[in-house]
Chain A
């Protein structure tokens, strides 16, 4: 047991070092392009970790997690447009390009939506839960498709990234390190969370919800708060993604992104925290490499995923780290 724990932490440290030095190496080789690719990877990793909290630890299989990513992104996009055009939102609120205002708002709004949607979804379970989370996400997707004022189907361009004191977010290197900072903070937070009293209740409810009730815990509200925390993580990822790509479109709320996030979690390993980071990295790198040869790159991803799921029960991270984490 000790040995596998050491292996898991060794991999984590190696991964941390890799992400920490990547921009320096990329710059010295003149391949700045990698910095923006890996910024994207870090952002997707935040979304995947938040989904892992839901699925891997909470057993709440949400197929609508993209909704919160998209909401976070649209908060950035809409506030940017109002700020750019100088017209207040609803004739009242001024737009904003200040990251210290916009990003917390994106997180908050994603969390509030997750709270409302979760309060309905969590009354169901199993297949119904999967379907109803998907249904809510698609409703939001079509809402933004129809929202002509903010670009509708075509989406919304952001001409300049949000502003932040001290940092210049338009610098790819600074933006990269900011994304890395947020990922590390979110990982630490979720790691503490799953071992706290709250986390024990969440994991217990995943394992045996009937038993949780029998020992006197009304698990619904804990699962709901967990749903909102995961939604907030999605919102953060969305706000960062909007800034990274300088573009927001309804595609960010579509079920295809929800599915991709789920694939990242499965590839990396359910309930392993660092697994989804690995999953997001491998998924996006595969996309990047394979897409050079064929636009039908998913044809190769599919069998790869099948092999991983069949032969590595705990995902790629589980394969590398041995039986590091006990949560299945």
Chain B
């Protein structure tokens, strides 16, 4: 590939190659304070290539390639090349990760105890994780929770936070402009802007945490909290995992251990302040 970049994010090393310079420049800026992989080896490779050879110059169109591919993934315009690189890294993790049980969830940590937030797209988990990350919690990741199947701990995977639509304004009001990537408009998911995690999250990205609570947040409803039974949590987390089936018995053992030892709550919230208040209450209860 003409242009290359290697990145270490938590326990995972990526090598990203691109036919164009611009997407990698944008990616390098987002990940400027992340280390390069220590041994120079990559766990996953992402390639951004023209959909057809002539599409490198003419109406450039970025197809995501790598060790694992989805045959029907639609190419993106070059203006969304940064998004293609981010999606490519997600895709390689979702399809190829075998060392950790992967949950589509945001995780934050305080005092060594981690909170797992999962839910459908739009439930607000990225926004809550981003806000908590600015208020004394350590952001471990907004997209994937990595569960170590040997010891039950969570590993950080603090990628740039992918903020969408309304969440962009919420965070722009709280975080200096230098920590944002470019504003990407008209993407398949609407408007997207990446937020660089703070230095605290990046410096401690090799530090595991013990999971303490599972939350299923839901935005847009009157404030309510209800307990969720372990069997329902198990079912929801198998649906939220991209590699549960592929991991077989190891995944079953790790997930049943997680859900049988952790409390789980579904929270409805009308605004982010309510959700942050609830999370702080839960933290104090867990610490007591």
A pairs with B: no
Q: Report B's interface with A, CB cutoff 8 A.
A: none
